[in-house]
Structure 1
Amino acid sequence: MSVFLTLRSLHFLRNIKNQIGLLGTLLFRRACVSFIPVRKSWKVTIREDRRRLTRTFKDSPSFKVYFQEVWTECYQDARKQASDQTSLLLDTFAVDFPLTTDECLDKDFLPD
């Protein structure tokens, strides 16, 4: 039984990390890559990912700590994706994400 719970927990953590990664990529595009047009679907996805993550954190507050731990890693992945998608050098994009984790989860905040 404990092996099943461990595997299930690992799968759940991977899903959360994927949601964090997607949220980070979309927020990064909004905040840092002004020459990529913003799509309406991005706003919908940002709001949906925030809603899911916030609900998860209410159910299990320890996952918010996990969010803060993996946020930097997910941001670095977003930088690499932006570099690949735009053919710009990685150094073009800020090393540190310009938004706080609280701003990233704020349901009313969208970077310009």
Structure 2
Amino acid sequence: MTEIVISIFLILGTFVVFSGTLGVLRFPDVYSRLHAATKSATLGVSGILIGSFLFFLYAQDLVSGKLLLGIVFVLLTAPVGGHMISRAAYRSGVPLSEKTIQDELNSERDYY
């Protein structure tokens, strides 16, 4: 049963990383691409690390603190990094796609 759970985490993590790669290749502008890259980094890498942690826990009877720290740091840094990069792109004037319907940051208020 544990092999099935570990395999599910590894397969789902790999699928999310692969989907994020396709999103980076197919999406029209930097903001959409960054969203795909951030989601795949957060969810995909976390899924793979959780699967690895469970493997070492149940197959080797070993609690890996490095894997736990890796999961925590990926969950904390990837979304913040993606947000900051997209915010810097917006402030430097990188244009939105023509398909974008609404630009919530384009107003008279200053969002600092």
Alignment TM-score, normalising by the size of structure 2: 0.34
Higher RCO (CA-CA < 8 Å; seq separation 6+) = 1
Over alpha carbons, which structure has the higher Rg? 2
